[in-house]
Amino acid sequence: MLRNVCALVAIGLAGMIAGCSGNTDTNHTAAPRGTSVTLYSSATELFMEYPPLVVGTQAKFLLHFTDLKDFKPVTKGSLTVEFRTPSGEVVRVAESEPARPGIYTPLVKFNSPGTYAMTMDLSGPQVTDHIILGDITVAGSAAEVPPAKEAVGPAPITFLKEQQWKISFATAPVVKRNLHASVSATGEILAKPELFANVVSPVAGILLPRNNTGIPSPGSWVKKGDVLYTISPSADASANFHRVRNDYFLAKSEFERVEGMYEKKAVARKRYDEARFDFESKQASFTALEDQIKLTSSGYAIVAPIDGFVESMSVSLGSQISSGQELLSIINPRQLILKANVPASKFEDAHNSTDASFRIEGYEAELRISSLNGRKVSVGSSLSGESRSVPVYFEFTNPQNKVKVGMYAQVSLVTGSGQEALAIPESAIVDEDALHTVYVQVEGEAFEKRIITTKLADGGFVQVLQGLREGERVVTRGAYQVRLAALSPESAIGQGHVH
């Protein structure tokens, strides 16, 4: 499958390669002067190194392939490399699998000097890619190979592919994004009132073990109407239930009788209204009781008022239950409430905001209310006395139940309209000496430390005012290890660059 490929850099490697140790068969010292190229497609990162190309001399290409789904080495798949001249001369080599994880080492021998167009086809269960490179020059003799250019500027930080592949590592391009200004606030996750229930016993009695062999356990899912407990009622409780039921049926019968007489103008409107009010009152009491319990041969079955997870249980088998006593709580987390505590000085911004993003403990990604089918519900009408903050409430759909009631959150309330700005992921920024620092990948195994100036932060991205250019790539995972490599190269993880 053809993918658009962009070149990150192609430079001479004379100084870098000369610094690698090992025998000429397995290490970079095979090329006293060479070229490196780093290319990104939508599927892979290619870091390619090769020596000066001379007619009649076999050249070893070192091709490092990284799967961009997880930034791990490509370990399976065949590779076909083709070189073609404008006149149609073709040199083709193929390897059925990498020589070692992530690294293919094709040997190529050219019979004619000139400029060749290079293409690669990678095919396998892990990744498939088609890569088109620029021109590759083959010299007619060693004397025609141009001298290596001297490096300009400070030496880059070396962090090898073998080191990158061993850790949690990733990079991302500097791109333009639509960012919004925001107000920072603390927050907490609350249950939605209609999706939370404290289940209480409407009758007094005892929880006999023989009648409660299938009670739910904490964390289990129950459906509305499922039996939670069966209470063996006391004589008074049973009489109370029957009294409420009998009062309802008597009031219902009386209302139907008076209604018929009222239609025939046999009773006054006042008598009709009194009968209707008495019926509706007793109907509400009976319905509320009926919604909570079912009369069974073993006693009164307490049923779940909503679908949800059993959150807590307050009684145990054998307990004596009193009327109105809490038995357990149920929560349905499919929709939750985010309460953002906004500083009073930012009240107007909070009042005008319609969206927010937030981060919670234990969950890496930033969540946005609008992306969770959410909305702002209300703004508090008074300040918190201690924190001098205004509560702003948002409701949202909970993705795969990952957000838990009671969690604390770092909230950014979106204010104003968006603006297009150069931006990087927030995770790329490393705070060093109170300065915002990033590590830029200047080629596959070379990095550069940059101090940047930032402004807006929105949706996990930060606006960059100075220090980066569009299209450059910054380290978003593993920046700390790159920093260690800069501070102490000899102690870098996985030292060694063996092929």
SS3 string of the chain? CECCCEEEEEEECHHHHHCCCCCCCCCHHHCCCCEEEEEECCCEEEEEEECCCECCCCEECEEEEEECCCCEECCCCEEEEEEECCCCCEEEEEECCCCECCEECCEECCCCCEEEEEEEEEECCCCCEEEEEEEEEEECCHHHCCCCCCCCCCCCEECCHHHHHHCCCEEEECEEEEEEEEEEEEEEEEECHHHEEEEECCCCEECCHHHCCCCCCCCCEECCCCEEEEEEECHHHHHHHHHHHHHHHHHHHHHHHHHHHHHCCCCCHHHHHHHHHHHHHHHHHHHHHHHHEEEECCEEEEECCCCEEEEEECCCCCCEECCCCEEEEEECCCEEEEEEEEEHHHHHHHHHCCEEEEEECCCCCCEECHHHCCEEEEECCCCCCCCCEEEEEEEEECHHHCCCCCCEEEEEEEEEEEEEEEEEEHHHCEEECCEEEEEEEEECCEEEEEECEEEEEECCEEEEEECCCCCCEEEEECHHHHHHHHHCHHHCCCCCCCC
pLDDT value, residue 51: 94
Sign of the Cα torsion 318, 323, 325, 331 reads positive
| Confidence band, pLDDT 50/70/90 cuts, at residue 384 | confident
CA distances from 351 to 167, 184, 341, 343 (A): 44, 14, 12, 12
Most confident range, picked from 208-222, 316-330, 408-422, 435-449: 435-449
Nearest-5° angle of CA 378, CA 380, CA 383? Answer: 160
pLDDT surpasses 70 at 302: yes
- CA–CA gap between residue 383 and residue 390 (Å, rounded): 5
Query: In which band, very low, low, confident or very high, does the pLDDT at 325 lie, cut at 50, 70 and 90?
Result: confident
pLDDT at 150: 74
Higher pLDDT, 234 or 165: 165
Instruction: Give the pLDDT of residue 494.
Output: 43
State the pLDDT confidence band at 277, using cuts at 50, 70 and 90: confident
Q: Select the more confidently predicted residue: 363 or 375.
A: 375
Residue 158 has a pLDDT of 93
| pLDDT for 348 | 84
- pLDDT of amino acid 490: 57
pLDDT confidence of residue 292: 67
Cα–Cα nearest to 278, from 309, 301, 310, 256: 256
Residues 30-54, mean pLDDT to the nearest whole number = 86
Closest C-alpha to 202, from 74, 271, 295 = 295
The predicted pLDDT at position 493 comes to 46
Average pLDDT, stretch 450-455?
93
Which tops the pLDDT comparison, 383 or 103? 103
The mean per-residue pLDDT over the stretch 376-380 comes to: 90
Distance CA 64, CA 53 (A): 19
Residue 153 has pLDDT above 70, yes or no: yes
Average model confidence (pLDDT) for the chain?
84
Q: Please give the domain boundaries of the chain with CATH numbers for all domains.
A: 6-152 (2.60.40.1930), 172-190+335-491 (2.40.30.170), 197-330 (2.40.50.100)
| Model pLDDT for residues 2-23, shown as the tens digit of each residue | 444 444 444 343 333 333 333 3
**pLDDT value for 330:** 93
Query: What count of Cα atoms within 13 Å lies in the side-chain half-sphere of residue 458?
Result: 23
